[in-house]
Amino acid sequence: MNKIIFLLHELLTWQAILDIALITAGLFFLYRTLVRLGTWKILVGILAAFLVIALANILNLEGIKWIFQNVSNVAVIALIVIFQPELRKVFEKVVSLQKKKTVSIDDGVTDMVALSLWQLAKQKRGAIIVYPGKEPVLEQLSGGHRLSAEPSLALIMSIFDPNSPGHDGAMIIEDNKLTSFGVRLPISQTSRLTEDYGTRHHAAMGLAEQTDALVLVVSEERGVVSAFKDRAMKPLGSVAEITNVIRNHNNEKGFLDMELQSLLHRHTLIPVGVSLAIAVVFWSTLITVNRQVVEKVFPLSVEYIPPAANLILVNDKTEQLRVDLAGPKSELDSFVLSQPTATVNLSKMVKGKQTILITGDNLRLPPNLTFLGSEPAKIEVTLADIVKKTIPIVPQLVGKLPANLKLKKVQVIPDQVSVLLPAPKRGDKQLSVATTPVYLNSIQGDIRIFCKIIADPTIQPEVKPWQDVEVIIEVENSN
């Protein structure tokens, strides 16, 4: 019950309503575009994948979540590449949301085109005439001849004369002008039309599937005029019907008005309702998962800000903590993935032993995350005055020379180094640093070796970093 009240409280905000409305519009426009292109099953597959992901988040299915997190970026790029034509049509739809520019319709031209088509049908002479809509059609057209002419009965009849070189192509009429003829249209890739129809009808359906253009076709075999629009074919039985179809197409104001008008139809209300339901479920799932408060324990490294120039840390450092945090799951996961560190600031501390209590301030937590504790809960540090001193460098010899050899001389160059270290106490033994190991059993004669310096963490070189030193070993026969 608390979860339902929480969701209702979140839903009854203007941000949530706007968010869901935009998601619904996007899903509906995507559905309409994919249906027009005959690839609506793609949308079903994508929605099924989102449903699986939503269930995985709700049920905390770590395997599915891991697969989605590691594959999603590549999958998105693959979908963009594979479905580039469909996505392009979606963006073209967005462009066509604006109101169609007003063009004075010449009823005389409309009546003349309708009469021309009717006469062509009576003579059983094939023809295709295209009236572009709001969406651009040039991308779908190829070939043809450009011209700018006033349409006339004689001109249309002559262009579609069987002996005319452009009679098999389509004629484009736009803004009361005949703009081109002999144009090739895209063939339909769907099975909306049976094989009984010829190339003209399949080409007209192809353009009607991909754009909002009106395509008028005269069948050469049947002597019938048909109108293709919005993926549908409608036979026209008179000059008046042809005229009405052209006028209705010219009076349409653009894609948005067409979609709003079509919302009143039962066949459109169903996909709109489904889009809305999917948007609500998707949004609710996202809110539930992202706002879900969870607790997580994880390790993180400790980063120390150095103390003042006259002090040095003399005890062993705590290198790692295990912290316990709580907060929204999405923000907590993002924080963990950012590889955070706990910062311990020694710059303002004074000499001596001090205890630092670990809090959320050491982690620089986002506002919505809560620090519950850490292991260890506190860090102890000891700072001491730093002094400058010159100490010897001792060669670290490991193993024994071969039986026939004995050491004659071992020399380190330089044999001393200037260091910074805590002030020694009375009674402390003589301090020194050592070279990296030199293994005697591998030596067969005099040798010079460059070695690193090994020192206690409390001893730091005056000039950083530590410089390499040269170890000279001279041997002689033991006989």
Reported as a single tens digit per residue, the pLDDT across 29-47 is 777 766 666 566 666 777 7
| Amino acid 396: pLDDT | 93
71 or 4, which is more confident: 71
d(CA 134, CA 136): 7
72 or 19, which is more confident: 19
74 or 167, which is more confident: 167
Token readout for 245 is 């179809």
Give pLDDT tens digits for 332-379: 888 888 889 999 999 888 888 999 999 888 888 888 788 888 999 999
| Amino acid 40: pLDDT | 60
H or E element at residue 371: strand 370-375
Alpha carbon distance, N-terminus to C-terminus of the chain: 96
Closest CA to 320 of 299, 340, 337, 335: 299
Does position 414 have pLDDT exceeding 90, yes or no?
yes
Give pLDDT tens digits for 295-336: 788 898 999 998 888 888 887 788 899 999 887 777 888 888
| Amino acid 38: pLDDT | 59
Does position 165 have pLDDT exceeding 60, yes or no?
yes
| Amino acid 99: pLDDT | 47
d(CA 209, CA 188): 7
Does position 78 have pLDDT exceeding 60, yes or no?
yes
Cα-atom radius of gyration of the chain, to the nearest Å? 41
The DSSP output letter for 360 is G
Contact (Cβ atoms closer than 8 angstroms) between residue 176 and residue 203: no
| Amino acid 95: pLDDT | 56
Percent of the chain past pLDDT 90, that is, above it, reads 22
59 or 183, which is more confident: 183
| Amino acid 255: pLDDT | 46
| Amino acid 105: pLDDT | 66
H or E element at residue 92: helix 84-95
Contact (Cβ atoms closer than 8 angstroms) between residue 28 and residue 94: no
Q: How confident is the model at residue 449 (pLDDT cuts 50, 70, 90)?
A: very high
Give pLDDT tens digits for 240-290: 999 999 888 887 744 445 545 555 455 677 778 888 888 887 777 777 666
For residues 289, 294, 297, 298, the Cα torsion angle rounded to the nearest 10 degrees is 20
Give pLDDT tens digits for 114-144: 999 999 989 888 899 999 887 778 878 888 8
By CB atoms closer than 10 A (0-12, 13-18, 19+), residue 114 is: buried
| Amino acid 197: pLDDT | 86
| Residues 77-103, mean pLDDT to the nearest whole number | 61
Q: Which residue has the tokens 């999603």?
A: 72
Beta bridge partners of 201: none
Instruction: Give this prediction's pTM.
Output: 0.46
Helix and strand tally (H, E) in the chain?
12, 23
The dihedral through the CA atoms of 141, 144, 150, 154 has a sign that is: negative
Q: How confident is the model at residue 10 (pLDDT cuts 50, 70, 90)?
A: low
The DSSP output letter for 361 is G
Does position 425 have pLDDT exceeding 70, yes or no?
yes
Q: How confident is the model at residue 5 (pLDDT cuts 50, 70, 90)?
A: low
Give pLDDT tens digits for 220-235: 888 899 999 988 899 9
d(CA 287, CA 281): 10
The DSSP output letter for 462 is S
Give pLDDT tens digits for 376-404: 999 999 888 888 899 999 999 999 998 88
Other C-beta atoms closer than 10 Å to the C-beta of 117 total 24
